Amino acid sequence: MIQLDRRLEVCADGGAGQTIHPFSEAPRATGRGVARGLAFDAKRIKLSILMPAYNEQRTIGGAIAAVLSTDHGCPFESIVVDDGSSDETPSILRSLRHQQAVVVTHPRNLGKGAALQTAARCASGTHLVPFDANLEYDPADLAAMVKPIVAGRCDVVYGTRLFGANTRYQSYRHAQGNRMLTLAANVLFDACLNDLHTCLKLVPVDLFRKLDLRENGFGLDTEITAKLLKRGIRPLEVPVT
- pLDDT, one tens digit per residue, over 46-64 is 999 999 999 999 999 999 9
Q: What is the mean pLDDT of residues 217-225?
A: 92
**Which tens digit of pLDDT belongs to each residue from 79-106?**
999 999 999 999 999 988 899 999 999 9
* DSSP letter, residue 42: G
Supply the pLDDT for residue 96: 83
Q: What are the residue ranges spanned by the domains of the chain?
A: 6-14+31-240
- Min mean pLDDT across 31-45, 162-176, 178-192 is at 31-45
Are 5 and 97 contacting, i.e. CB atoms less than 8 angstroms apart?
A: yes
pLDDT band at 154 (very low <50, low <70, confident <90, very high): very high
Helix, strand or coil, per DSSP, at residue 209 = helix
CATH number belonging to domain 6-14+31-240: 3.90.550.10
Length of the chain: 241
Q: For all residues of the chain together, what is the average pLDDT?
A: 83
Are 241 and 167 contacting, i.e. CB atoms less than 8 angstroms apart?
A: yes
Report the alpha-carbon distance of residue 161 to residue 157 in Å, rounded: 13
SS3 of 69-93: CCCCCCCEEEEEEEECCCCCHHHHH
pTM: 0.81
Report the alpha-carbon distance of residue 58 to residue 16 in Å, rounded: 30
